[in-house]
Amino acid sequence: AQKITQTQPGMFVQEKEAVTLDCTYDTSDQSYGLFWYKQPSSGEMIFLIYQGSYDEQNATEGRYSLNFQKARKSANLVISASQLGDSAMYFCAGGGSNYKLTFGKGTLLTVNP
Amino acid sequence: GAVVSQHPSWVICKSGTSVKIECRSLDFQATTMFWYRQFPKQSLMLMATSNEGSKATYEQGVEKDKFLINHASLTLSTLTVTSAHPEDSSFYICSAREGLHNEQFFGPGTRLTVL
């Protein structure tokens, strides 16, 4: 079983600045993956980045990077050089050997001009 | 990238009727498809896992006789909400994964309103 905790209901960031969205997890699986998805107001879920539990390096995808600290059970998303289009809901999710995803409650990010 | 479609994107129906939602993987074969429900301002909750050619497995608390899932091929899964009631009004989202890949790719969602 997985538990995903996102403690920031909302975050504000100035355009062009970096922002970190927090995510902690708890799991009994030895092998697991952590995901971040973006959900704009249209409702679609957009895959951003993935980190496997055995990956030694932090995942990066363009302006997105995942700060994975296994000992602290955290998988924070870092968005660099924020853009107005980054304003959306962001969900952290965890998946184990059965590939089922458990989602956190989400963080609403607002990018200010 | 992998593309998943859903149809319809929105539907309004009368209480007591049944509604079918389709989920298709357009450019890959989906080993597994998942169905989620999302109420306003809440997170996604997994309803069921669907593997091609076998019965879906439902999460605790999800009525399998109310939410019928059929995964007839490697590119199509359907969710039928039977005898829909207003409390079934929600955003239904499917996702699909391919082979050994861990990523799930999501459809655009279907907004169901039951009057």
For residue B31, pLDDT beyond 70:
yes
Share of chain A above pLDDT 70, in %: 99
Interface with A, mutate which of B43, B62, B110 (most A CBs under 10 A): B43
The B-side interface with A (CB below 8 A) comprises 32, 34, 38, 42-46, 49, 91, 93, 95, 97, 102-109, 111
How far apart (Å, rounded) are the C-alpha atoms in residues A20 and A82? Answer: 11
- Give the pLDDT score at B1: 67
For residue B81, pLDDT beyond 70:
yes
B111 contacts in chain A (CB < 8 Å)? 43
| Residue A60 pLDDT class (50, 70, 90 cuts) | very high
For residue B53, pLDDT beyond 70:
yes
Q: How far is B78 from chain A (nearest CA, A)?
A: 18
Share of chain B above pLDDT 70, in %: 98
Nearest to B78 by CA among B22, B34, B29, B16: B22
- Give the pLDDT score at A29: 87
For residue A2, pLDDT beyond 70:
yes
Left if phi > 0, otherwise alpha if psi is -120 to 50, otherwise beta: which for B103? beta
* Yes or no, beta carbons of B44 and A43 under 8 Å apart: no
Left if phi > 0, otherwise alpha if psi is -120 to 50, otherwise beta: which for B71? beta
7-66 of A, contacting B, C-beta below 8 A: 33, 35, 37, 42-47, 50, 52
Mean pLDDT of chain A: 94
A34-71 core/surface letters (b: 16 or more CB in 10 A; e: else): bbbbbbeeebbbebbbbbebeeeeebeeeebbbbbeee
Show the tokens assigned to B11.
């539907």
- Give the pLDDT score at B103: 81
Q: How far is B103 from chain A (nearest CA, A)?
A: 7
B30 contacts in chain A (CB < 8 Å)? none
Phi, psi of B16 (to 5 degrees): 100, -15
A64 HSE (CA, 13 A, CB side)? 19
A106 contacts in chain B (CB < 8 Å)? 43
Mean pLDDT in residue range B5-27: 96
How far apart (Å, rounded) are the C-alpha atoms in residues B62 and B58? Answer: 6
Chain B touched by A104 (CB under 8 Å): yes
How far apart (Å, rounded) are the C-alpha atoms in residues A104 and A73? Answer: 14
- Give the start-end residues of each E strand in A53-106: 60-61, 64-69, 74-79, 88-95, 101-103
Mean pLDDT in residue range B52-80: 91
- Give the pLDDT score at A44: 92
How far apart (Å, rounded) are the C-alpha atoms in residues B7 and B21? Answer: 6
- Give the pLDDT score at B102: 73
- Give the pLDDT score at A1: 63
Q: Which residue of A has its CA nearest to B57?
A: A100
Mean pLDDT of chain B: 93
Q: How far is B105 from chain A (nearest CA, A)?
A: 7
Interface with A, mutate which of B35, B42, B44, B95 (most A CBs under 10 A): B44
| Distance of alpha carbon A24 from the chain centroid | 10
How far apart (Å, rounded) are the C-alpha atoms in residues B53 and A3? Answer: 30
- Report pLDDT digits (tens) over B86-110: 999 999 999 998 876 778 899 999 9
Mean pLDDT in residue range A22-42: 94
Mean pLDDT in residue range A35-39: 96
- Report pLDDT digits (tens) over A11-26: 999 999 999 999 999 9
- A99/A46: higher pLDDT: A46
